[in-house]
Each structure stands twice: as structure tokens, then as C-alpha cells.
Chains A and B, each alone.
Chain A
Amino acid sequence: MVKYISKRLLYMIVSLLIIITATFFLMRIAPGNPFTSEKKLPPEIEANLNEHYGLDKPWYVQYGDYLVRIVQWDFGPSFKYESRTVNDLINDGFPVSLTLGLEAILFAVAVGIVLGVIAALRHNKWQDYTAMIIAVFGISVPSFIMATFLQYIFAIKLGLFPVARWETFSHTVLPALALGATPMAFIARLTRSSMLEVLSNDYIKTAKAKGLSRGAMIMKHTIRNALLPVVSYMGPLAAGIITGSFVIEKIFGIPGLGSHFVLSISNRDYTVIMGVTVFYSILLLVSILLVDIAYGLIDPRIKLAGGKKGE
């Protein structure tokens, strides 16, 4: 296991390097720069700015500088927010996005799995259909429409929650629901379908025949095995959710990290683009590693580490 994980860490570093390199070049090839604006800057001012930020140096020098900085975990100043560094932005924004993201994931996983299990156990009964309707609703309504809906109904019409801002727990409820709705629906569907597959397996029939109680049977045998696709889906999704969602943050006025992913690109805020991409990629790669480790725990037959070269 240790050997496997250390090998994976090596792969992770290579992947990260490729992501950083690709992002760096994509970002530099994209038309425009941090100083492009409606009112064009006089050329001498632009030249001066480029010099100050080292944008006039050859690309390989800049690229090398970035790599060194990333290793030092110092992403440099933001171009768009003069008083802020990229590290500031991440340090301030991530805790907010993480809180919101965890709430959303908790909601999505808890409700999604329960709905999915019920639907599978009551296959083609009304419970199944109800769960499906809820899931179809969740899947076909994307988060930005869901957010507007929730805000309109629960904040404006009913006044149960605040419209926006990030202060107390009640400020987090609507955004978390909006963020979690689609994953919830999808998890419900995935759980249902894999539960159905597992339920018809022989060992379940054996367990039934052995007179195992229904509850014990569901817990012990089916859910665990049915979770596999959910885990495959949730891993990378979790990395995305805890680093924030642009639309949800925008609609609910939440000072999270998500908005930086989009705005840094439209602002060509080079340092922020690199910073948030590196940060997100690390989380993504780690969560994918965790998924693979989780596979082994869920289904002991899966052996990733073992030498499969013979095949």
C-alpha cells in the first residue's frame, strides 16, 4: 500500500506539472492581458507595468519563475485587486467555500443515498417513481435556476431565509441546497441502479435465504457494494464543490473561492489563474487518489496496487 501510494504521489506531481504548464501557456496565448481595458492605457504605462510584473521577460524565464513560486507556495500579487495577494484570496475564500461545499455534499450524499436505496428496494413501486420525479427535477434544473428559485420562494416570498450575504448558518442553507441538488439527484439515480444490480446478485439471495433481517442485509451487503459508482462520481466532484461554485457565490453574494476561477480568467489575472488552478488541481488529484483507495475498502477484490503487468 505504501509503495502504491508513493507511486501515485509521483504520478500526481507529474500530472500537476502538466496541468501547470498547459494552463500557463493557454493563459499566455489567450488574447488580452491583465491591463487590457475599455480605455486603453498609454503605451508607456503599459510597458512600465509589464516590466514591473516581469511580463516583458522571455516566456521560459516567466515560466521558471512561476514554478519556483509555486514550490514556495507563494503565488504572488493579484493584478485585479492591488491590495491582495493570491495567497490572501485563497486563504480568505477557501474556508467559506469549504463550509458551503461540505454542507452541500452532506445533503447530496445523505438524501441521495436514502432516496436511491428506497427506490431500489421498492423497485417499480410508487416510492420508486416519486424518487425518480424528484431526481428528474434535480437533474434537469441546473444550480443557477435552482438558486434563483430557492431565493425567490424561501427568501423573498416566505422570508424564511436571508436573500444573500455570508454571515450566519441560515445564510448557508439556500446556497447549500442549490449547490447540492443536482449531485443529490444524480447520486439517487446512481445508487438506485447499482442497488438493483447488487440486489439481484446471488449472495444477496443467499443472505435472504439464510434469513438475515432485511435491515442487516441492506446495510451489510448491498449499500456497501452499491456505493462504488457513487464514490467514482463524488471524488472529483467533491474537489469541485469545496472550491466553490461561481454561479452560487454570485447569486447569494458569497465571498468564496469559486468566483476567482471564472473572474480571474476574464480579467486575465495571471497570478490568480495559476494560483487557483494549482490549488484546485492538488485537491482534485488527492481526492481521486482517495477514491481509488476507497475502492479497495468497499470491494476488497479490487487490487490496484498489485502487479497487473501480466495481463
Chain B
Amino acid sequence: MKKSKLSLLLVLSLVLSMFLAACSGGKDNADGDKGKTDSKKKVSQELRLNIKTEPFSLHPGLANDSTSGGVIRQIYEGLTRIDKDGKPQPAAAEDIKVSDDLKTYTFKLRDAKWSNGDPVIAEDFVYAWQWAVDPANQSQYAYQLYYVKNGQAINEGKAKPETLGVKALDDKTLEVTLENPTPYFLELTAFYTYSPVNSKIAKANKDWYKDAGDQYTSNGPFKMVQWEHSSKIVLEKNENYWDADTVKLTKISMDMINDNNTELNMFKNGELDWAGMPLGQLPQDLLPQLKKDGSLHTQPIAGVYWYKFNTEKPPLNNVNIRKALAYAINRKAIVENVTQGGQIPAMAAVPPSMIKENEQGYFKDNDAAKAKEFLAAGLKDLGLSDASKLPTITLSYNTDEGHQKIAQAIQDMWKKELGINVKLENEEWKVYISKLHNGDYQVGRMGWLGDFNDPINFLELFRDKKGGNNDTNWENPKFKQLLIDSQTESDPAKRLQMLKDAEAIFMDEMPVAPIYFYTNTWVQDENLKDVVISGLGDVQFKWAHFE
């Protein structure tokens, strides 16, 4: 009996020490990698990264998600392309003329070829755009083309696709007529829904885009040579690209691994050259460590994380209560200690990349004194003596560790600063979205990422009370009018001022409490240069190369 006990103890301690060995020693590994990266000295221009999941579709007219977009952006080229400085530059077009009423654009196409050698012609754009708005093709992003004349009418089945405001004057000239003047239209033409499609192939084979192969042609810096569904996509340099001399990478392989830790581990093991956003993601818990060892890259992007208030549910129908809640949040503590990805505290709705002054915002972060004043005013409005008499506030978020942590931090802040009790409620993603869109919530977390580089993108969500993405039931006639007027204002400075005025109204009524502006966070092989990430957070590898 004694002997057996001893061996039991031995085995137990063996198991435990194995466990401990596994746990400790993370540090030397982190140090060890740096040497690895340095000694790698890649001459080969092959980039390996992770895109997490199978893309929804690699048809530019059908794609509606960041994964598909991330692939399409490398292999297609629209009339314009966002350059290294974030400005749209002529791309497939070489010359652009705009009519005085800002409603007609004439694009002169450059001599360019599809990856199979076919010339890129104006008809390819006409075909692609008409195809995307045609309701028969079920594009979920058809509304991106609503700016073009008749776009919405066609998609609603009220007009024929041929009536879309886009015409091929000849093989190399494209004329686009817009529904309304759209000051940011050249931003839009860089977006993938506006990409051309090789009409010769697409007309003959409606399934051309479902696999890699000779049917899948594209006109961008890279071409797709392999698509192992749910596993891997391989791109190669497109020798037929008009600007092929600029393109240095010979190959990009994109794995589909949907686990943040694995992605980072593969990077550390030298199996990937890039881990993290915008196409992948880093594990949030490890950001501080990566920051400490200097390998973390961060870049602000046009997106905001906010808490929406349902302005019809008491006590959140009271503006003072809403303001008290918004002012009492210590955003700096959240970005530094909870999210830890270099995010910028948000005291405004529109990201600073679009309105510079918004780095400061409309109020002071963590303004406990003001918050208490607002709370007192709010309680007075409601005829209550004390914050504890307020109806319980339920803070909802969708199932995700990151959201949960922020919610717990804010719950604690509201409790400590204002004495308000908050109940947390998390929900499965689609249940959550449905509840929010149906107004079945009190306070709910949400994020918004800009589709194009213009403040209107963030403000027009709240134009109509029943607008699909408003969710707050808030509406303000002055706000609405300013947005409508801004659409027809041709002077950019005046237009920007109108939008700022609108934002001021919005922040004064506080239907949402902004928390922070998003950043992209990633680690990369330090020899990889000139990867361009736009203000919207999209990545382009056109100029990228290894040193």
C-alpha cells in the first residue's frame, strides 16, 4: 500500500510539473522569435497571411463582407484606387471629367488587360454595374450602386437594368450619370462593388466566379490561381496588369484559419508573415505583451464603437440621464486597460480621420462632475430623489469576450461614479441584432465601420427614426435637414461645416455614447514594407515587398 501511494504521488507531481512547464516560459519564446525574424532574410517575394474564413463570394458584385473584400481588392481594380495617402486616384480610368452640376462623370479608360489578356473595355463596367443592381442577381450590396441614376428603381424592380445611368460611349469611354450630386463619388468608384467584370466571359458562363481557373479573370495587381474552399486561396502577380512594374510580390497565400491564437502562433513559428487585422485578428489578451516586445503595429481606422441608447425606453428617454451615462465612462481606462489596442477614446461620432477636431470631441472624457450634474438634473426631471430609484438599466451586448469585458468595465464605472445599477445581458449574435433592430433593448453595444471616407457615412444612420441602422428611435428635424442640404452643397468647406453642425446636434442629444474609435492591430514580418492600409482599414498589397 505504501509503495503504491508513493508512486501515486510521483505520477501526480509529474503531471503537475508538466502542466507548470507548459504554463511558464512564455517569455523566452517571445524573445526567441525576434532572432528568427531577423535571420530569415527573405529574398523570395511570397507573402503568407490568414483571412480567417471562406469568403462569401469572389464576385465583386456579390461580395458584401470584409473577407471577400480583402481578396477582391487585391485582384480587381475599379475606376479609381485609394492611393498610399488615402486619396482616390485614377486607376482603370486614366482621366476623369465631372460636369458642373456634379451629376455626370466621364471616365476615359486606360489601355489595360484582364488577367487572360482580354482588353478591359467600358462595356465591362456597364455589364458589371447593371448585373449588380439587377434584382435577379440577389446582390446584397446592390445599394452601393444606388448613387447611380436609377440604381434603386432597378433594384426594386421598377425599372429595367438597361436604364442604369452608365453608358459605354465607346470601348474606352464610360459615362456615368448620378441620381444626386455625390461629392464623394470618386471614393465610391474605388469600392469593389464598382469593379468591372470581364463581360465576355461572364455572359458566356454565369458560374465563372465560383472557382479559380481560366474562367476567373481579374484586372488588378494580382490574379487568383488557386481556391481550395474553406482552406486556402493563392494569388499570383498578374503580369497583364497595366502597372505590373510596381508590383513586387510574386505570390500571396491566404489561409483560412478561424482562431486568433493559432494565427499568432503560426506567425511566431514562421508559418505566416502577417497576423492580425485587417484580414485576421490577434488575441486581445496578448496585445499588451506584443506591445511590450515592440512587435505590435496599430493604426486608427474609420470606425467607432458605441453604446446605443433606446431613446424611447425610460429612463433613457431623458437626455440628461443619457448624458450622465455617457460622461461617466472612463474611456481612457478602457482603451488602455481593457481593449489595449491603441484605440482612441471617442467623444464624437465621426472618426478623426474624417474630422480632425474629433480627436478632442464634444465633451471631456471621464467627466464625473459633469456626469453627476446631469444625473441630478435627470433625476429632477423624473421626480426621483436618488439614482437607486431609477428603473434598472439593462446593458446588452452580443456574445464575445471583448464586448463582455468592456460591458463589465462600464457596468462597474456607472455603479461607482453614478450609483446606477446595471444588469448585463449577452445574446447570441443574430438574436442580439434582431432585438436591437426591433428596438427591444435599453442600452446596446454596436460598432460602425465606414464604407467610404466621408462623415455622412456615420451621420446618415440617424437621419430617420426608422432607418434600418438607427436603432435608437431618435430623430431630429434640424439634424435631418442639415444632412439633406449637405448632399447638394458643392463647396466642400461649407458642406463639411454643415455636417459638423449636424454632429453637434447629435452629440448634444446623445442618442449614443461613443466609446472609442477603432484601430487595426497586427504583427508582421518587419522586412515587409509598403503595405497600404487605408483610413477605412482596407489593406492593399499592390506596393508591398520584402526587403
Enumerate chain A interface residues (CB-CB to B < 8 A).
30-33, 35-45, 48-49, 52, 80-84, 88-89, 92-93, 124-126, 129-130, 133, 137, 148-149, 151-153, 155-157, 159, 162-166, 250-253, 255, 259, 266-268
Contacts of A156 in B (CB 8 A): 29, 265, 268-269
Report the stretch among B138-146, B332-340, B356-364, B534-542 that lies at the interface.
B138-146
Contact with A along B408-441 (1 / 0, CB 8 A): 0000000000000000000011110111010000
The listed residue (A37, A124, A125, A149) touching B433 by CB distance below 8 A is A37
Question: A37 — nearest CB in chain B belongs to which residue?
Answer: B433
Pair A157/B138 contact, Cβ less than 8 Å: no
The listed residue (B139, B229, B265) touching A163 by CB distance below 8 A is B265
Given known pairs A41-B468, A83-B57, A255-B231, the reply for A163 and B143 (CB within 8 Å) is: no
Pair A133/B12 contact, Cβ less than 8 Å: yes
Is there a chain A Cβ closer than 8 Å to B17's Cβ? no
Instruction: Name 26 A/B residue pairs within 8 A (Cβ), A-sorted.
Output: A30-B430, A30-B431, A32-B429, A32-B430, A35-B140, A39-B469, A40-B469, A41-B140, A44-B152, A45-B155, A48-B135, A48-B155, A52-B138, A82-B56, A82-B62, A151-B265, A152-B22, A157-B25, A157-B29, A163-B266, A164-B259, A164-B262, A165-B257, A252-B262, A253-B255, A253-B257
Question: B207 — nearest CB in chain A belongs to which residue?
Answer: A83
Residue among A45, A82, A162 having the largest count of chain B Cβ atoms under 10 Å: A82
Complex formed: what's the CA distance from A159 to B25 in Å?
15
Contacts of B138 in A (CB 8 A): 48-49, 52
Pair B258/A250 contact, Cβ less than 8 Å: yes
Pair A83/B209 contact, Cβ less than 8 Å: yes
**Chain B, interface residues (CB within 8 Å), range:** 35 or more
Closest 8 CB pairs of A and B: A32-B430, A253-B257, A40-B468, A82-B57, A83-B210, A126-B7, A255-B230, A31-B434
Complex formed: what's the CA distance from A43 to B258 in Å?
31
The listed residue (A44, A45, A82, A251) touching B262 by CB distance below 8 A is A251
How far, in Å, is B267 (CB) from chain A's closest CB?
9
Contacts of B25 in A (CB 8 A): 157
Contact with A along B250-280 (1 / 0, CB 8 A): 0000011111011001101101000000000
Complex formed: what's the CA distance from A88 to B54 in Å?
13
Contacts of A125 in B (CB 8 A): 4
Pair B271/A36 contact, Cβ less than 8 Å: no
Pair A42/B266 contact, Cβ less than 8 Å: no
Q: Which of B289-335 contact A (CB under 8 A)?
A: none
Q: Which of B44-79 contact A (CB under 8 A)?
A: 54-59, 62
Contacts of A153 in B (CB 8 A): 22
Complex formed: what's the CA distance from A283 to B211 in Å?
30
The listed residue (A151, A162, A266) touching B428 by CB distance below 8 A is A266
